[in-house]
Structure 1
Amino acid sequence: MTSDTPHSAHSPAAAKQAPTKVARLRLDRSGTSNASSAGIDHARNWASIKPMRADAASMKRNHLFADSQDDDITRRFDMLRTLLATALEENGILRLGVTAPTEGSGTSFIAANLALAMARRPSSRVILADMNLRKPGLARMFGANPPGPLTEFLAGKHPSSDQLRSYQGSLAVLMNSQVAQGSAEILQESSTTVALGNMRRKFGPTVEIYDLPPLLGHDDTLSFLPQLDGVLLVADGTMHTASQLRAAEEMLNGRSKLVAVVLNRGEIRRSLAEIMQDFGDRWFRGRRKR
């Protein structure tokens, strides 16, 4: 098992430590109603997205797994996809953010491979968005040339069709070519909400996955939480402590819902195991009250 292999919440080692889902959600999904999308041919619009010129060697080097193969890593992501699908469908979650307490936790690795796994369903329309404006990385991982700076799209200067690139039909990646100054402020702008809403209405994705910067240290992800229906939290077993996980949960509390915790890299230390068990205990208490 490589250092990049995720010990997801469903794996035998972590199944008792982390919840697959944590609460009944009451979501505001404004801009996604059938009425607002009436008369739009989503399938046709989706088919019109320009193809991505991905580099297979770059994807392999960055541990992206596009094809369903009989290996341990792909099986883990396929299992994570299926377990998450239940939570997403039951709770009407369309916009899923992927973040971690600190930098270097493998957030992009988890977000990209989860999106690839979800896109293996032919009926899916998955949008994977690089929303880490401080350190964009999805284009590099796919070995692709991004169309331009994401800030131009978020400011409403370019349509989403100019920024998206299609990969293998059922995945569209919203890439970024450069670091943005004032990233948190950009994410708070109403133009960002409008741009993402227009993209949603035009293409009718079945799920949107947002690769986000870490929760602790800067307010970028905190600024973007109103755009999300739920959050997938990546915990690095080699460096995160219980206090960091608690701090990340407190940042989410009252702002977005924790859908799942995924352990990436290393063995579970006792302190991390305890906090992940605490997540699970509180989720089950919440379920009993329903």
Structure 2
Amino acid sequence: MERLQAALQKARAQRETVVGEPARLRKPRGNFGQTRRRRTAAIDEVWQSLPEMEVNTDVWQLHRLFAYKGGADAAPFDLLRTKLLRLVRQHKWKRVAILSANADAGKSTTVANLALSFARQKDIHAMAIDFDLRRPSMGRLLGQHLQNNMGQVLRGEIPFERHVRRLGMNMAFAMNDLPVHQPAELLQSQRTEDFIKQIEEKYSTDLILFDMPPMMVADDAHGFLRWVDAALIVIEAEKTPVKQIDILERQVAELTNVAGIVLNKCNYSDEYTGSYNDYY
């Protein structure tokens, strides 16, 4: 891990020497605190009207979704939630994409766990939207029986409020049953940006998490990232090359803010991380 951090720091320094300055901070979209203060009983009623999610903790456990219950297994995702929340409040971000270089890095599992962790943060109203339209997996991971997808929602064929699923009174998931036709064109369209604005206004969201397709296998995320405030990059420990991480970070930084890098599937020891189990 130290070698990875050193290599990334060196690559960033080299880029800044060439470019002359770090990546520009994008203009924030809204005020986190004001959004929460403006929430009224009418907004709570709008959330209450959303259909509830099917809760199947056996399926969640099978798919390594542990953040719903708290405790030692949820601790890494709770820590990620807290760090992301600090950045969101500091920079007044409202839209965060989660992406990876290639498939099978555990990106969607990370998104689902992070969303379940936010569901336990009752003062935060958030949504998780599966925009990995070529290979959607969030619905499967969460054990949901779906009949529609976000492509139909974005095209106006079905209303969002019928498609989304609510968990508790502060978290909602928008998932897919099947892959969507022409996903890149759909995600890059002005219609998608207008849709997100409508969702933010109607549901007074503090944060929306977007599960995006891998950056290096399709152009879907490249066109969509201009609509978000920041992106989290998920990399697979001992699989994603450092050079590829640097390329990915540079590509993302040209399109939006880099909120951080999540090292996934890491075989860690208590010597470096402390013992969650002993503490909890």
Q: Taking structure 1 as the reference length, what is the TM-score of the superposition?
A: 0.79
Shift of 1:140: 0.6
Shift of 1:127: 0.1
Change over 3 Å in CA distance of 1:51–1:18 after alignment to 2: farther
Equivalent position SS for 1:41: helix
Contact 2:130 2:175 in 1 (8 A): yes
Residues 244-281 of structure 1 show CA distances to partners (whole Å, capped at 9, x for unaligned) of 1122112113211100111001359xxxxxxxxxxxxx
Structure 1 residue aligned with 2:89: 89
Is 1:50–2:51 an aligned residue pair? yes
> How many angstroms apart in 2 are the aligned matches of 1:180 and 1:25?
32
Structure 1 residue aligned with 2:63: 62
Shift of 1:82: 1.0
Change over 3 Å in CA distance of 1:13–1:140 after alignment to 2: farther
Structure 1 residue aligned with 2:134: 134
After superposition, where does 1:193-232 map in structure 2 within 5 Å? 193-232=193-232
Shift of 1:123: 1.5
Amino acid at match of 1:184: A
Shift of 1:241: 0.3
Shift of 1:217: 2.0
Amino acid at match of 1:210: F
Aligned residues: 253
> How many angstroms apart in 2 are the aligned matches of 1:67 and 1:40?
26
Change over 3 Å in CA distance of 1:84–1:38 after alignment to 2: closer
> How many angstroms apart in 1 are the aligned matches of 2:7 and 2:51?
42
Contact 1:225 1:256 in 2 (8 A): yes
Residues 18-61 of structure 1 show CA distances to partners (whole Å, capped at 9, x for unaligned) of 89xx988342527x997xx9999322211211101132221111
Contact 2:67 2:77 in 1 (8 A): no
> How many angstroms apart in 1 are the aligned matches of 2:24 and 2:247?
22
> How many angstroms apart in 2 are the aligned matches of 1:202 and 1:150?
18
More contact order relative to length (CA 8 Å, sep ≥ 6) = 1
Amino acid at match of 2:179: V
Contact 2:67 2:78 in 1 (8 A): no
> How many angstroms apart in 2 are the aligned matches of 1:44 and 1:61?
33
Contact 2:65 2:112 in 1 (8 A): yes
Structure 1 residue aligned with 2:124: 124
Amino acid at match of 1:238: E
> How many angstroms apart in 1 are the aligned matches of 2:181 and 2:205?
29
Residues 72-93 of structure 1 show CA distances to partners (whole Å, capped at 9, x for unaligned) of x311111111111111100011
Structure 1 residue aligned with 2:160: 160
Equivalent position SS for 1:240: coil
> How many angstroms apart in 1 are the aligned matches of 2:86 and 2:3?
21
Structure 1 residue aligned with 2:102: 102
> How many angstroms apart in 2 are the aligned matches of 1:181 and 1:28?
31
| Structure 1 gap segments, 5+ residues each | 1-6, 269-290
Change over 3 Å in CA distance of 1:94–1:182 after alignment to 2: same
Change over 3 Å in CA distance of 1:13–1:116 after alignment to 2: farther
Q: Taking structure 2 as the reference length, what is the TM-score of the superposition?
A: 0.81
Contact 2:93 2:229 in 1 (8 A): yes
Amino acid at match of 2:245: L
Amino acid at match of 2:233: L
> How many angstroms apart in 1 are the aligned matches of 2:3 and 2:68?
25
Equivalent position SS for 1:97: strand
**Aligned sequence identity (%):** 24
Q: Which runs of 4+ in 1 moved over 4 A?
A: 12-19, 37-40
